[in-house]
Chain A
Amino acid sequence: MEKKKIIEDLQQKFPDSMLSATEQFGDDIVLIRKEALLDIIDFLKGDHYAFTMLLDLTCVDYLGEAERYEMVYHLFSLANKIRLRLKVRLTERNLRIDSLTPIFKNANWLEREAFDMFGVSFVGHPYLRRLFMYEGFEGHPLRKDYPLRKQQPKIPLRN
């Protein structure tokens, strides 16, 4: 399958939602608008490209930039053996994005992780609760403005 074809197809089908397309280490990276995320992933998962596997879903904090957070979705097509990386930029003020759980079941825990570490709200997630940190933990530890050594012990420490 031609790789260039994916970008062209996406640009044809979603002309308003494609912001940029680059390539790194032989894999395509596409920056899209967040409103079109579910439509684009639904299209990519369809029979033609068959990106049936969500390898990973994570968030990056670019502290100081206008659109501070960047969601990254790693897709893999088992049938065609190609990878695709989708990126969506989010602002601090509106840190919400559609949940991928209706399309990929494994997005459930991955999104809970992103919520736990970065505080991104996933609209439509069935059970958006912290995954790693415990009840009563305040803040989101992987944000760049979380104090580097700030600890929140669960039990009183001895000394």
Chain B
Amino acid sequence: MRGKKGPFNGSVDCSTEKMSKDIRKGGFITTTFNSLLGWGRKFSLFQYPFITACCGMEYMSVACAHYDLDRFGMGWTRFTPRQADMLLVVGTITHKEAPVLRTVYEQMTEPKWVVAFGACAVSGGIYDNYAVVQGIDRIIPVDVYIPGCPPRPETILNALIKLQEKIQKEGHDWKWKRKK
């Protein structure tokens, strides 16, 4: 077992083989409640895809069998924001649509995380004009930014694993709130 804190100490690798060996020998695991919550939450991210543009194609390939998000514990797509933990903003957000996106964000229950997916969601992309919001962080807080037009599936997987690391490390409140 690595360190005194046990397997839930912020590492992605939980070394289950060694863990189960220790438990079979009559051992036990110690951890903090916070890192246990983080471990549970990072591997059960229910996603809500808010797809408005061509990045959606890339999202589909990531979410479906070729790249398979489900390997990382975030395969379950929810089609209501009230059941989702992770908001994927995939594509261009216009000023006309901005109130909709903010409503969707506000409908999600805590704890929640937001991913800006692709150049348009990150910064407005090539659309520097009258219609397009210059990055969704002008409307809602964002946890992970994924650049690319559109991003490669590997980039997306990398970003989502980074989000998992972030969730593992951050402070959790067991009253279903995210500590500020």
Residues from 114 to 164 in B contacting A, C-beta threshold 8 Å: 128-131, 133-134, 137-141
CB–CB A155/B102 < 8 A:
yes
Asked if A134 and B130 sit within 8 Å, CB to CB, the answer is no
A134, A141, A150, A151 pick with most chain B CB within 10 angstroms: A151
Q: Which of B128, B131, B138 touches A158 (beta carbons < 8 Å)?
A: B138
User: How many residues on chain B are close to A (CB under 8 Å)?
Assistant: 16
Which of B95, B137, B141 is A153 in contact with, Cβ under 8 Å?
B95
B98 on the A face (CB < 8 A): yes
- CA separation between A157 and B134, bound complex, in Å? 10
CB-CB < 8 A to B130: which residues of A? 141, 146, 149-152
- Contact between chains at A153 and B128 (CB < 8 Å): no
Main secondary structure of the interface of B (DSSP, over half): loop
**Does more than half of chain A's interface fall in helix, strand or loop, or is it mixed?**
loop
A66 CB–B CB distance under 8 Å: no
B99→A158 contact, CB < 8 A: no
Q: Is A154 an interface residue (CB 8 A)?
A: yes
Q: Contact: B98 with A155, CB < 8 Å? A: yes
User: Which residues of the other chain, A, contact B140 by a CB distance below 8 angstroms?
Assistant: 158
**Contact of A154 (CB < 8 Å), options: B95, B128, B129:** B95
- B137: which of A133, A146, A155, A158 is its contact (CB, 8 Å)? A158
Q: How far, in whole Å, are A141 and B139 apart by their CA atoms in the complex? A: 22
Using CB atoms and an 8 Å cutoff, list the residues of chain A in contact with chain B: 132-134, 141, 146, 148-155, 157-159
14 A-B pairs whose Cβ atoms sit less than 8 Å apart in the complex:
A132-B96, A133-B96, A148-B129, A149-B128, A150-B130, A151-B130, A154-B95, A154-B96, A154-B99, A155-B99, A155-B102, A158-B138, A158-B140, A158-B141
Please give 12 more A-B residue pairs, beta carbons under 8 A apart, in addition to A155-B98, A155-B99, A158-B139.
Answer: A133-B96, A141-B131, A148-B129, A149-B128, A152-B130, A154-B95, A154-B96, A154-B98, A157-B133, A158-B137, A158-B141, A159-B137
